[in-house]
Amino acid sequence: MLIKERYKAFVEYFSTHNPDAQTELNYGNPFELLIAVILSAQCTDKRINQVTPALFERYPDPESLAASSPDEVFTYIRSVSYPNNKAKHLVGMAQKLLSEFNGEIPEKVEDLVKLPGVGRKTANVISSVVFHNPAMAVDTHVFRVADRIGLTSRATTPLAAEKQLVKHLPKDTIAVAHHWLILHGRYICLARSPKCDICPISYFCKYFEKNKKAKAILKN
């Protein structure tokens, strides 16, 4: 299957079966989403959704968070991964929002990455979800699934994978394709034991094709 055909099959399947895929993080406004995405690094969305209600209530805006301290923020997020660093990032992020962006979430990726705790992946999430820009955030799920099903080839870094995905995906699907890949990786294409037997897109998956051939050789 040619790369063009593979992308076509990918978009056609998910456009039909999950056209409105969204983040599983709970949030009420862009500021809350930014906090949630910063916290979600190397942590599950389920855990973040357990932590954020109290955090959002205590810090409803950049002003209240900027006036807090990492030690206080830590008490709200102690159960997430790397709580000490993330507490510092959150306070620093809020202070930077006030000092450089008038308390408003910036739209451009190059501005977002200036905020403490915000790397390119987080910036792309905010750019795509909040501002509906054609930005592709590459986390571990996206990186793994895109390679396995053959959307990327020899992409050794998240940035390389991002560039390939953005190049080949129709512009109007880039933002939602991020969620397609994440959700597929979270529930079907698992890291250690992918559920190939129930995968609805195995017919164009390179990983499945390779393993199928390997099993056939072993049988013979």
Binding residues: 189, 196, 199, 205
Q: Which of 86, 96, 139, 147 is catalytic?
A: 139
Whether 139 is catalytic? yes
Q: Which of 121, 172, 197, 213 is catalytic?
A: 121
First to last CA, the chain: 25
Q: Binding site residues for [4Fe-4S] cluster, as ranges?
A: 189, 196, 199, 205
Record the tokens describing residue 161, joined without a space.
């994978």
DSSP notation for 71-108: HHHHHHHTTSSSHHHHHHHHHHHHHHHHHHHTTPPP-S
Quick one: 156 exposed, middle or buried, by C-beta within 10 A (0-12, 13-18, 19+)?
A: exposed
Whether 212 is catalytic? no
How far is it between the farthest Cα atoms of the chain? 69
Active site residues: 121, 139
